[in-house]
Amino acid sequence: MNARSAGRSVVGMIEIEHLTKRYGKKTAVDDLTFAVKPGVVTGFLGPNGAGKSTTMRAIVGLDAPTAGLARVNGKHYSEFRSPLTEVGALLEAKSVHAGRSAYKHLLALARTHGIPTRRVHEVIDLVGLHEVAGKRVGGFSLGMGQRLGIAVALLGDPAVLILDEPVNGLDPDGVKWIRLLLKGLASEGRTVFLSSHLMSELAQTAEHLIVIGQGRLLADTTVDDFVSGNGKARVRVVSPDAARLAEHLAGPGITIASPERGVLDVSGTEAAVVGQTAAAHGLVLHELRTDRGSLEDAFMQLTADAVEYRQPTEGVK
Amino acid sequence: MTAAAMTERPAYSPPQQYRLTFVGELRSEWTKLWSLRSTWIVLLCAVVFSGGLGALISASVPDDQAVGGADAALSFAMAGVSLSSVFVAVLGILTITGEYTTGSIRSTLSAAPKRLGMLWSKALVFGAVVAVLFTAMVFATFYMSQALLDGTAIGDVSLSDDGVLRAMFGYVAMIVYLALLAIAIGAILRNSAGSIGFYVGVIMILPQLATLLPWEWVDDVVPYAPGNVPNTIAVVDTSMGTLSLGESWLWMGIWLVVAYGLAGVLLKRRDV
């Protein structure tokens, strides 16, 4: 499309190539390769200890990889002349000296880059910490600490945002606020990469998903594909003739559960088939719908597979 | 332009006017130093201690013991200054170990990922603050002590006397040296209690205790211990010391290079 973008990486692209990180004998990240593109919110999903935080620390150069590369715009983070405007990171909630005020913490970081105090006040207002900006951070709640961390990440108005569990400790208003904020930032063409163990949260915020388990890549896909590809679709039927319908539906590959009287959850078939079967036998249906399966279901299934792969158990299906 | 390209979201361009600079890092460390209450408290303690102890000792010296020339006069006046180097060293250690214990080091090194600039700027800013503060303290304590010793045999020491001014700046240099050494120890050990323990035990006390050991070679080595090498620069009559004035400066430099070399290498290599 144009000559400028042909020879170099896309602005804001995060590239992880064969990243491996060991702490002593423990392998936290194991040959991980993926890329995060600008313009969309990318979720980074994995159970606790999967290596999400380690990967994020490697991107901003705090942890050196045992092998492989973590780069932004084709560069190692430490090569940037202006790191805070390239990448803004929220790593752990409290990366702040407890005895320092929120304002002074931001000011000290701003001064490294010659960022004016006007911008410090801007980000304080943006995250809603105006009233407590002069207070010592030691007295902050978890949610206030998160807001300060987000202010730090936004300080340089960066092209790439890396946020480790940003919704942790936020109240429902805060969660809604950050969801809108991140979508807005992505729509400006920035790269937004956030980790979470709250799968439902990512489903509402992210368009793209990177899923890891035990330091390995499990999926690199869109949220929609992830859910439809991994979630077990099932048909929910409500019928006064549920018991008889179940008899007619039964067959190989079809499982039927009855969570309550008059309700069936049928998997292994489609709603159309269930409807036809009911019509053929003159059975009344009050409700017939397909549940797509939640991101949570999909995630559980995928990580369960990963565990089975690493620890094969015989005789258990 | 293709249709696909037109539906793509616009490329975001971050602000171009900001740069990570060493001057910026210095200003950042200055802001960090003065934004902690502990800095004010510890430096206030150092000032009160060095001035107060100097005055107390000078005032309580009996006239018949106030003899021994300019070195005696300075040792009475500067007793508190020497001891308050502990406050300064502890504060120096805390400027860096405090970042590790609270986690703020992650913010600091995310903003300055080359890392070494953080170490140099911390050392420069703190060293400069200590130099200015203790230059003032050394002179204030000297005049105060001389006023209290007035009328005794050592009550008329003048700054223009041979070696007096040099010895007074020697006290300042000694304290700055110990402060810088403390920062390097903090950067190496990264733990407040461990670093303070190491400083007090190994830098301050061990050389004193070592002289009690029965081996002769210990006496030969002790003057070269990091805590002892600045002794010569803070006396008026340098002929008494094991190290000459030049050797004293040289060994202070050697220990700083060793300490900062190790601190720098570890800072680059270790994960944060």
Name the pTM for this structure: 0.85
A9 pLDDT more than 60 = no
Distance CA B189, CA B96 (A): 10
pLDDT for the residue B173? 97
Residue-wise pLDDT tens digits, A144-154: 999 999 999 99
pLDDT for the residue A235? 85
Instruction: Look up residue B255 and give its DSSP letter.
Output: H
Q: Using CB atoms and an 8 Å cut-off, which of residues 132-161 of chain A contact chain B?
A: 152, 156-159
Q: Which chain A residues touch B16 with a CB distance below 8 Å?
A: 85
Candidate from A38, A96, A159 with C-beta closest to B102 = A96
Candidate from A57, A104, A158 with C-beta closest to B35 = A104
pLDDT for the residue B162? 86
Q: Is A60 on the interface with B (CB under 8 A)?
A: yes
Candidate from A108, A156, A189 with C-beta closest to B18 = A156
Q: Which chain B residues touch A95 with a CB distance below 8 Å?
A: 103-107, 110
Distance CA A286, CA B10 (A): 48
Report the residue of A19, A92, A97, A137 to disrupt the B interface, i.e. the one with the largest count of B CBs within 10 Å. A97
Q: Is A22 on the interface with B (CB under 8 A)?
A: no
Interface contact flag, A105 B104, Cβ < 8 Å:
yes
A312 pLDDT more than 60 = no
Q: What count of CB pairs under 8 Å joins A to B?
A: 151
Return the closest-CA partner of residue B154 out of B261, B101, B75, B258.
B75
Structure tokens at A138: 């030691």
What is the band of A315 on the pLDDT scale with cuts at 50, 70, 90?
very low
Give me the DSSP letters along B144-177: HHHHHTTTSTTTT--TTSTTHHHHHHHHHHHHHH
3-class DSSP assignment, residue A262: coil
Distances (CA, A) of B271 to A5, A22, A97, A178, B96: 34, 12, 19, 30, 15
Ranges under pLDDT 70 in chain B: 1-10
pLDDT for the residue B217? 86
Distance CA A132, CA B272 (A): 29
Give me the DSSP letters along A197-224: S-HHHHHHH-SEEEEEETTEEEEEEEHH
pLDDT for the residue B30? 98
Nearest CA in chain B to A154: B14
A188: exposed, middle or buried (Cβ count in 10 Å: 0-12, 13-18, 19+): middle
Q: B86: number of CA atoms within 13 Å, CB side? A: 15
Q: Is A62 on the interface with B (CB under 8 A)?
A: yes
Residue-wise pLDDT tens digits, A202-249: 888 999 999 998 899 988 998 888 776 665 667 889 999 888 998 888
Distance CA B76, CA B68 (A): 11
The more confidently predicted of residues A180 and A250 is A180
Distances (CA, A) of A66 to A69, A97, B112, B264: 9, 29, 22, 20
Nearest CA in chain A to B27: A111
Return the closest-CA partner of residue A35 out of A15, A58, A11, A55.
A15
In the numeric block, the tokens 């000297």 are attached to B142
Residue-wise pLDDT tens digits, A286-307: 999 887 666 666 677 777 665 5
Residue-wise pLDDT tens digits, A60-119: 999 999 999 999 999 999 999 999 999 999 987 678 999 999 999 999 999 999 999 999
Q: Is A183 on the interface with B (CB under 8 A)?
A: no
What is the band of A317 on the pLDDT scale with cuts at 50, 70, 90?
very low
pLDDT for the residue B200? 95
Q: Which chain B residues touch A207 with a CB distance below 8 Å?
A: none
pLDDT for the residue B4? 43
pLDDT for the residue B151? 83
pLDDT for the residue B212? 84
Task: Looking at the complex, report in whole angstroms how far the Cα of residue A239 sits from the nearest Cα belonging to chain B.
Answer: 46
A311: exposed, middle or buried (Cβ count in 10 Å: 0-12, 13-18, 19+): exposed
Distances (CA, A) of A118 to A96, A134, B30, B211: 21, 15, 19, 59
Interface contact flag, A109 B9, Cβ < 8 Å:
no
Distance CA A297, CA A199 (A): 9
Interface contact flag, A104 B31, Cβ < 8 Å:
yes
Across chain A, mean pLDDT equals: 86
pLDDT for the residue A154? 97
Structure tokens at B196: 């303070």
Instruction: Look up residue A283 and give its DSSP letter.
Output: -
pLDDT for the residue A10? 59
Name the E strands within A63-189: 67-72, 87-90, 160-164
β partners of residue A23: A26
Structure tokens at A54: 């380690």
